[in-house]
């Protein structure tokens, strides 16, 4: 491959072990999503495994309710965990969406969130022409030793024992800003339905441009891609 040609990219299912390794080592959260049912799509560049793009039903079974969809028709993009690469992240996500559309034809909408607390404003979604639908509600959480602990984590921690785990001693209770919500419809009818929800994209800080959704600085950029054309060509 010469320096001017596009790197050869392969998208396929990834094992749970491969997805876990990528999320633990190449995503800012350092953890694998907690949902039991997940679709982990592996990414290989020039024959080398470079990470995963993970979809799941989301933290709530009501993810699709605002759009008239059930949990089998709506999925959330929950991780983009990548090591060093040359391909723009937005292109990898676009191809992963095409893959999901082909192998899970019942899914009509993909939702993803960008966390302004982490200085993420959704650069890869803006580059991929996703629909911006505003922000979610602010969230009350605990902060302890620099880590964020959600109430749902405490609520579920000792569920089998019938009791709720307490927040660590010294934990500070804070309010996180609402997350930016992005939507990608996978069919024309859904696109027409959610079009009225479209809002102007939030502006990105210089740091956010490089760090959105697990993107690594100087390792691919957020070059705009024609996501809709890629999807429609499937």
List the domain boundaries for the chain.
Answer: 9-137+179-232, 139-176
Report whether 182 contacts 125 (CB < 8 A).
Answer: yes
pLDDT of residue 212: 42
What is the layout of strands, in order, in the sheet containing 74-82? 9-13, 39-45, 48-56, 74-82, 109-114, 180-185, 131-135
Alpha helices (H) along 78-205: 89-103, 123-127, 151-157, 188-194
What is the number of other CB atoms lying within 10 angstroms of the CB of residue 202? 15
Q: What is the pLDDT along the chain (234 residues), one digit of tens a residue?
A: 555 567 899 999 999 999 999 999 999 888 888 766 789 999 999 999 999 999 998 767 789 999 999 989 999 999 999 999 999 999 999 999 999 999 999 999 999 999 887 788 999 999 999 999 999 877 776 776 666 665 555 544 454 555 556 666 666 676 777 889 999 999 999 999 999 999 999 986 655 554 444 444 333 333 333 333 333 333
pLDDT of residue 62: 87
pLDDT of residue 3: 54
pLDDT of residue 134: 95
pLDDT of residue 227: 36
pLDDT of residue 99: 97
pLDDT of residue 211: 45
Alpha helices (H) along the chain: 16-26, 89-103, 123-127, 151-157, 188-194, 206-211, 227-232
End-to-end CA distance of the chain: 26
Contacts for 198 with CB less than 8 Å, ≥ 6 apart:
131, 132, 133
Query: Is the CATH code 3.40.640.10 the one for domain 9-137+179-232?
Result: no
């Amino acid at each position: 491959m010469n320096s001017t040609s596009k790197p050869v990219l392969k998208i396929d299912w990834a094992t749970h072990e491969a997805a876990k390794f990528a999320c633990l080592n190449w995503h800012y959260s350092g953890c694998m999503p907690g949902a039991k049912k997940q679709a982990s799509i592996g990414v290989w560049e020039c024959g080398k495994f470079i990470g995963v793009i993970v979809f799941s039903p989301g933290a709530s079974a009501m993810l699709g309710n605002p759009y008239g969809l059930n949990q089998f028709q709506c999925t959330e993009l929950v991780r983009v965990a990548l090591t060093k690469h040359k391909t723009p992240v937005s292109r990898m996500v676009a191809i992963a969406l095409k893959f999901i559309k082909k192998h899970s034809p019942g899914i009509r909408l993909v939702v993803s969130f960008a966390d302004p607390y982490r200085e993420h404003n959704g650069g890869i979604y803006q580059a991929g022409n996703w629909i911006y639908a505003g922000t979610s509600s602010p969230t009350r959480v605990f902060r302890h030793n620099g880590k964020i602990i959600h109430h749902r984590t405490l609520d579920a921690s000792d569920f089998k024992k019938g009791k709720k785990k307490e927040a660590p001693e010294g934990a500070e209770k804070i309010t996180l800003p609402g997350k930016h919500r992005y939507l990608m419809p996978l069919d024309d009818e859904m696109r027409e339905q959610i079009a009225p929800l479209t809002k102007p994209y939030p502006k990105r800080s210089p740091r956010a441009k490089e760090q959105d959704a697990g993107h690594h600085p100087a390792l691919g950029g957020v070059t705009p891609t024609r996501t809709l054309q890629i999807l429609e060509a499937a």
